[in-house]
A and B are shown apart, each in its own frame.
Chain A
């Protein structure tokens, strides 16, 4: 029975994604002179090209690298969202936690001088710690004072952005640079490369470890059990003797750790410095990943790779055609709308059934 349900759910998600991609194509066709070429770039762009003409060679490895870079950030953000959604907490704080995570790495990287592994480890730890704290605060407010987490996390995002700008403009900024940003991080605080010729760094291993750890946390620990109970029914969880307040606060704090790591990936892995307007709105991109994955960490990996693929493809499409990469945001919005529409398929069936009945009645009549 459950097996069957999971299968139906999986089919539903695939159908939703296909519908969204189809609508995306229609929109592309409306504005583009060469919609097929544009969409081909979107859907096949991130793949490395393998050629056998001059012996075996792989080209376009940097595109594959872009895909992996994008996906690493998205999977970390997707895990962050999956944890709070599993507990049915609508924390929207990933954006602020990510910004502060990146900020913390810059402070450690630029204001401390340490030898290689320790400098990097300390910077990562700082990002995780500030993410934890920035999730814990709204978590405690929600758990003990019933402060609505949507409003509080949005406000914590605003504060985080102001803190980010404050420190960047007044303390960390490189005054000789032509843009608002810091000097490049010292090598001791940069994540080493995992694939040469790309920007894919050790963060990809940290991300994979995070997937395993979050899965273990959710499926094999008392905390994970409490998290699921809380998400299923708070009153019931309380009757069952679960300290729901502690679980609410911790779920948002643990989520913050992962968002903080995503921020560290931007600064220590991709940019190797801190710049203004780091990546507005990226913190919300974890939501679509978590939704596609139904908050299951294993599927977050798959959904993150899929959505990262789409985002990378969109960048390649933008460079090679007359369509901007923002089409992927439209596709994303349609995916969220359709995937959360529980009544969509029942309604469709109803409508389809009614039509068939009508036709049958007409044939008979």
Chain B
């Protein structure tokens, strides 16, 4: 149990592979949270969307063989995945509809969606499988792992790029990293991304130059549901191969915090998600060494709160400095 053993296990390729596995279901919903947050429509329902998508993916892929008998396995996985994504997008649309058309408070609507997902998944699971805990009786499809060829022969790189047993990461892990890049390009290199950010930053100004705020926020919330759904699908069709009641276990809420810790930009959000993932992986690893994992798992939320505090102190200092400068200039200008 020496300190060296701990260090060795942390700085191993296998550990990094674990970090990527546990970070994937944070990166994906966090990207969803980022889009809606930047559009000025906070999505509290990431948790619920993940749960609903995870459930839909398992149920649809599990029942798909009855609908298309004899089709190859990937068809079932794809059907489940598409269904899960559609459910996530529909939930995003519903939040937008209630918030923008019926003028509900977006936070309460998001919470209602979380409750709906928590209740609805267990309710339907029991009706469809007769079990309230998990879908272990249902034979559902898995999303494939993608193996990068040729690198397995190289000792450390093989583990790093293809995971602990060299079989490759789940396709969702790759999608997560690609999504970060896509969203970065969208936000900073495309007109619609600029429109989205303008809508969040200053809606009146955005409207005055002809941006349709309502439509932008609709799309932001639907896209947010899309991303969170991918995270949920990974949990039930990659990370595990079943759906369990409340299997998201607060990841959607953590993803929301990750956006803030990441200073509301894609790269920062990715790093923040990896910090949470590292702490979680570390906790599990230390747990086998008789160190309470809860200590480690407590670090990211504390860091998040500290980051928010520092951010706000710096912002206040900046505002004060600007005010002082203005005053000095005004005094200097006085005759």
Q: Which residues of A contact B (CB under 8 A)?
A: 27, 31, 90, 92, 141, 145-148, 150-152, 154-159, 161-163, 165-166, 169-170, 280-281, 284, 287, 291, 324, 326-330, 332-334, 336-337, 340-344, 347
Contact of B101 among A151, A326, A343 (CB under 8 A): A343
**Interface presence of B166 (CB below 8 A):** no
CB distance from B307 to the nearest CB of A (A): 10
If the complex has contacts A326-B119, A329-B115, are A148 and B294 also in contact, measured as CB distance less than 8 A?
A: no
Q: B164 in the interface, Cβ–Cβ < 8 Å?
A: no
| A170 to B294 CA separation, bound complex (whole angstroms) | 10
- Report chain B residues within 8 Å CB of A141: 305, 308-309
CB within 8 Å for A329 and B312 given contacts A148-B260, A151-B256: no
Residues of A within 8 Å of B42, CB to CB, are 150
Q: Considering the complex, give the chain B residue whose CB is closest to the CB of A287.
A: B111
Q: List 25 A-B contacts (CB under 8 A).
A: A150-B256, A151-B260, A154-B256, A154-B257, A155-B257, A158-B298, A161-B250, A163-B294, A165-B294, A280-B246, A284-B114, A287-B108, A291-B108, A326-B118, A326-B119, A326-B120, A327-B123, A329-B116, A329-B123, A332-B112, A334-B112, A336-B108, A340-B98, A341-B104, A342-B104
Kindly identify which residue among B104, B115, B260, B301 contacts A159, using a CB–CB cutoff of 8 Å. B301
Q: Complex Cα distance A306/B132, Å?
A: 26
Indicate if B59 sits at the interface (CB-CB under 8 A). no
Q: How distant is the Cα of A43 from the Cα of B116 in the complex, in angstroms?
A: 20
- What residues on A are CB-neighbors of B127 within 8 Å? 31, 324
Interchain CA distance A242-B40 in the complex, whole Å = 29
What residues of chain A lie closer than 8 Å to B228, measured between beta carbons? none
- Known contacts A146-B312, A158-B298; 15 additional CB pairs below 8 A are A145-B308, A148-B260, A148-B308, A151-B256, A155-B305, A159-B301, A162-B301, A284-B111, A326-B119, A327-B123, A336-B109, A337-B98, A337-B112, A340-B105, A340-B112
Q: Could you count the A-B residue pairs with CB atoms below 8 Å apart for me: how many are there?
A: 142
B interface residues with partner A (beta carbon < 8 Å): 42, 44, 98, 101-105, 107-109, 111-116, 118-120, 122-124, 126-127, 132, 246, 250, 253-254, 256-257, 260, 292, 294-295, 297-298, 301-302, 304-305, 308-309, 312-313, 316
B308 touches A162 (CB 8 A): no
User: Provided the pairs A330-B116, A337-B98 are in contact, do residues A166 and B294 lie with their beta carbons within 8 angstroms?
Assistant: yes
What CA separation (Å) do A342 and B104 show in the bound complex?
6
**Chain A residues near B294 (CB-CB < 8 A):** 162-163, 165-166, 169
> Residue B118 contacts which of A27, A151, A281 (CB distance < 8 angstroms)?
A281
Interface residues of B, dominant DSSP? helix
Please measure, in the bound complex, the distance between the C-alpha atom of A151 and the C-alpha atom of B256, giving whole angstroms. Answer: 7
Asked whether, in the complex, the Cβ of B119 is within 8 Å of the Cβ of A333, the reply is yes
Which of B101, B113, B292 meets A333, CB within 8 Å?
Answer: B113
Is there contact, CB below 8 Å, between B304 and A328? no
Of A141, A152, A163, A337, most buried by chain B (CB within 10 Å of CB) is: A337
Question: Which of B109, B115, B116, B316 has the most chain A CB atoms closer than 10 A to its own CB?
Answer: B115
A158 pairs with B108, CB closer than 8 A:
no
Expressed in whole angstroms, the Cα–Cα distance for A170 and B295 within the complex equals: 12
CA distance A162 to B256 in the complex (A): 19
A152 & B305 in contact (Cβ 8 Å cutoff) = yes
Contacts of A92 in B (CB 8 A): 111
Determine the chain A residues whose CB is within 8 A of the CB of B124 once the complex forms.
31
**The 6 residue pairs across chains A and B that have the minimum distance between CB atoms:** A329-B119, A333-B116, A341-B102, A336-B112, A166-B294, A155-B301
B-side contacts of A161, CB under 8 Å: 250
**Known A327-B123, A342-B102; contact A147-B305, beta-carbon cutoff 8 A:** yes
Query: How many whole Å from A176's CB to the nearest CB in chain B?
Result: 20
Judge whether A152 and B308 touch: CB under 8 Å.
yes
Given known contacts A341-B98, A343-B102, A324 and B122 CB-to-CB distance under 8 angstroms: yes
Q: Of the candidates B108, B120, B257, B292, which one forms a contact with A340 in the assembled complex, judged by CB atoms under 8 Å apart?
A: B108
In the assembled complex, which residues on chain B have CB atoms less than 8 Å from the CB atom of A152?
A: 305, 308
The reply to whether A343 and B103 contact each other, CB–CB distance below 8 Å, is yes
Chain A residues with Cβ below 8 Å from B246 are 280-281
Question: B312–A324 contact, CB under 8 A?
Answer: no
| Across-interface contacts of A145 in B (CB, < 8 A) | 308-309, 312-313, 316
Q: Chain B's nearest CB lies how many Å from the CB of A290?
A: 10
Q: Name the CB-closest residue of A to B104.
A: A340
Q: Is the CB of B126 within 8 A of A324?
A: yes
Query: Of B103, B298, B305, which contacts A162 at CB under 8 A?
Result: B298
CB distance from B310 to the nearest CB of A (A): 9
User: Is B292's CB under 8 angstroms from A170's CB?
Assistant: yes
* Residue from B108, B112, B122, B309 in contact with A326 in the complex, judged by beta carbons closer than 8 Å: B122
Bound-complex Cα distance A329 to B42 (A): 23
CB nearest to B308 among chain A residues: A147
Instruction: Across the interface, name the chain A residue whose C-beta is closest to B253.
Output: A154
Q: Do B109 and A337 have beta carbons less than 8 Å apart?
A: yes
Contacts of B115 in A (CB 8 A): 281, 284, 329, 332-333, 336
Do the beta carbons of B111 and A147 come within 8 Å of each other?
no
Q: In this complex, which of B246, B297, B301, B302 has the most chain A Cβ atoms within 10 angstroms of its Cβ?
A: B301
Contact partners of A146 in chain B: CB under 8 A: 312, 316
In the assembled complex, the CB of A317 is this many whole angstroms from the nearest CB of chain B, namely 12
The complex places the Cα of A31 from the Cα of B309 at a distance, in Å, of 49
A151/B257 in contact, CB under 8 A: yes
Q: Which residue of B lies closest to A150 (CB)?
A: B107
Q: In the complex, A327→B127 CA distance in Å?
A: 11
Closest to B302 in A: A159
Report B-chain residues with C-beta under 8 Å of the C-beta of A27.
123
What residue of chain A has the Cβ atom nearest to residue B315's Cβ?
A: A146
Write out the residue numbers on chain B whose beta carbons fall within 8 Å of the beta carbon of A336: 108-109, 111-112, 115
Bound complex: CA A157 to CA B312 (Å):
21
- How far, in whole Å, are A2 and B260 apart by their CA atoms in the complex? 42
Chain B residues whose CB sits within 8 angstroms of the CB of A162 once the complex forms: 294, 297-298, 301
Most B Cβ at <10 Å: residue of A284, A328, A332, A341: A341
Q: Chain B residues near A163 (CB, 8 Å)?
A: 294, 298
Q: Is the CB of B116 within 8 A of A151?
A: no
